Structure 1
Amino acid sequence: MIEILRPAEVAQARHTGGLVADILQTLKSRSLVGTNLLDIDAWTEAMIAEAGAQSCYVEYAPSFGRGPFGHYICTAVNDAVLHGMPHDYTLADGDLLTLDLAVTHGGVAADAAISFIVGDARLTDGAESAAMIEATERALTAGIAAAGPGARLGDISHAIGSVLTAAGYSINTDFGGHGIGSTMHQDPHIPNTGRPGRGYRLRPGLLLALEPWVMADTDQLVTDADGWTLRSATGCRTAHSEHTIAITEDGSEILTVEQRAVR
């Protein structure tokens, strides 16, 4: 199903998107050396509840997972890149952490992800990790710039893929961006590479979650025993950036931007 939101629903999506961005930035500030991933999950649960919102993850049980996810945020460390299930792990200097969060508030969902280095990046391959994070951020910016009324999904995919390929990364197309609205995952699927001028024509009121992600030296994934966490097949580091956007009458609008401090 491809859902087109009414103006009032897009306005609600701005509020939900701001909440997601605020929570992510608060978690980033708290994710220090010595922080446990389970603490991050507990903080997320508390902030969602305080906002009167609902988690998109706790009961999430798609065909590719193993039962309900059962947690409030995805926490992917180093070689993990997608669907990172929080577990008893304490962050160390130089860890590359990705936080991926989706919530629903007022009947509309928003989804975003950030990657960053914890503590002292000099203790690991900090420059390489920073370059990979920056490449996903630039690809996300390019994808957003390509989105607007009348554009095609392939225009977004091509813009994202061109940046990632030029940066030297191979691209996995099994998982990518997606439509979003009253539920977290909707059609259309948005691969992180593609041909311009192809695919669904974008319309005002369409919400999309764009999420470029890469692995340093492979495009192959393996799944943890938890049935959820996806890692690079070679054990290399990974990065992931995501925003929810709305297609407007004259372009696109990023919805997952900070609006207030959540502490």
Structure 2
Amino acid sequence: MSKYGKLSPPVSPTGSSIMSPLSSMNGSSKQDARLTATSKRQKYFKRLLRFKQMDFEYAFWQMIYLFVSPQKVYRNFQYRKHTKDQWARDDPAFLVLLSFWLVVSSVGFAVVLKLTFLAFVKFILWVIFVDCIGVGIVIATFFWFVTNKYMIMAPPRGQDVEWGYAFDVHLNAFFPLLMILHLFQLFFLTYCIALPGFFPRLFGNSLWLIALGYYIYITFLGYSALPFLKNTRTLLYPITALVFVYMLSLMLDWNFSRGLSTFYTFRVST
């Protein structure tokens, strides 16, 4: 971690193998600029199984800087807009790495919750396709609609928020939440956080406050990075409600982590 902290993240994955077949084509950047949203989406999904063409080093850099300095991650999104005329990622490496961490955290939860193998498989499918991707599609669609409907500067000058970019913002914000609530929390869940009492509840719910607050903040950074949006600070307003619910949970004996464990166990056992 210290090795990365002294260096600046790569500006774009131009040195990766994903660029090598494209760089040999004349006028490739102009061709990408003319691609429709459907064509870009098709290219993205075609690369999902081409691991050799993915820039995992660049995706790993992004994951590190989502904790260290998330603003730098969105500067690279701005660079992609200038070079490829799209805000959204064209390399699925980040999604693949995120899926890997989802599987790792699911193994940890399966051990802590003492799930059977069948329940473990169901748990992984739920976490990846419902909790991450399914909920992400709903959230991305919501922000895509709201930002394009109410936050575009007038006149719009032909610019709008790409749905793919809205989904990328969700993935960026989801990664720190995953690492805090699905990995870091596991080491304290059984012998600390899930126990009755005020201090276990304080510790566990504080992790939820940090994780969800980080999600809101990184989401705000994602949309504030778009120069044609206005009033993006309103995306920070849910933090007020989050703090209120946090204080209420401490007074009313709501242990979010214990509730999550109960919910996960019930969901895979039915």
Range into which the TM-score falls when normalised by the shorter chain:
under 0.3
* Larger RCO of the pair (alpha carbons < 8 Å, separation 6+): 1
Higher fraction of strand = 1
- The structure having more radius of gyration, on CA atoms, is 2
**TM-score, with structure 1 as normaliser:** 0.25
